[in-house]
Amino acid sequence: MTHALITGGAGFVGSHLAEKLIAAGQTVTVIDDLSTGRMSNLANLIKHPRFRFAIEDIRNTIVLDRLVSECDIIYHLAAAVGVQKIVSHPIETIEINIGGSEVVFKTAARYRKKVMLASTSEVYGKGVKFPFEEDDDSLLGPTTRSRWSYAASKAIDEFLGLAYHKEVGLPVTVFRLFNTVGPRQSGQYGMVVPRFVRWALNHQPIQVYGDGQQQRCFGNVFDVVDAISRLAEVEDAEGQVFNIGSDEEISIVGLAERVRERSDSASEISLIPYEQAYEPGFEDFRRRVPSLDKIKRVIGWRPTTALDTTIDQIISYIRENPNG
């Protein structure tokens, strides 16, 4: 029986992954300091006999050493998340992402444990070749704009994980997530879909940042955790990087319109300048779409959930959890 350790497992993606692995018969331990994760995300698992939870920072080497020694595989999802948090707290972003990953990889190497590293589409930066392929160059903005600290820190995480694979033979697989959405996601740190849904359900103005013409692809969390768990089972995926997400594109203003329609809302849609929403000089991507050819080739995975279905799931969840 596989024993999985999920760092950041009380978060949105981590909690769904924990449920997926428990349902597959695995034992799961979660470590999370609850800085962005929530105990309520794990409510379905707390009393399960194959689930354990440690409230702790992953940089606590004593605790992490014990948990890694007891597991078979590590899903490293703990990171600073959300555009608003990244812009407002760049020190925390850099220290948690890089420092946390350093501790995880050192400990994993000590016990020879496989690591599944969660990364982000942000590492592609301002690239203009679409769709993004895993071996494409990255083009990041200047260091004077803290918005890029997240992308740079996660790129370092990838370099570090792949270096451990190359230099000491540690089994490491990197997966880059593209705008994962679904039930339990919080809008607290700038996540766009839950914010839009809450505004729509309350018939408040739906605030779209910038001109609203930026294009995104929103992957359903249930599809995403299926891909992550399947990648973990494939030895040929080790030492490689994979995009995970949807390739169904929509503009942000189009997303707002779709949410308003499916919520049966009377909300108006208002455009908010970036400098008002974040900070002067804030840069955004005009388009972000993944190539999914590689993951399809290696494990035969494709997303199966349409965006409308995902929006409906989020609407239902927020109606049932208005304060969650």
In this prediction, residue 190 has a pLDDT band, given cuts at 50, 70 and 90, of low
Domain definitions of the chain by residue range: 3-181+219-247+287-304
Q: What is the pLDDT of residues 236-295, one digit of tens each?
A: 999 999 999 999 999 999 999 999 999 999 999 999 998 898 878 888 889 999 999 999
Phi and psi at residue 244, to the nearest 5°? -135, 125
The verdict on whether 150 is a catalytic residue reads: yes
Higher per-residue pLDDT: 279 or 58: 58
Q: What is the pLDDT of residues 17-52, one digit of tens each?
A: 999 999 999 999 999 999 889 999 999 999 999 999
Q: What is the pLDDT of residues 200-244, one digit of tens each?
A: 999 999 999 999 999 999 999 999 999 999 999 999 999 999 999
pTM of the model: 0.96
User: Which of 75, 150, 209, 278 does the annotation list as catalytic?
Assistant: 150
Can you identify the CATH homologous superfamily of domain 3-181+219-247+287-304? NAD(P)-binding Rossmann-like Domain (3.40.50.720)
Give the pLDDT score at 146: 85
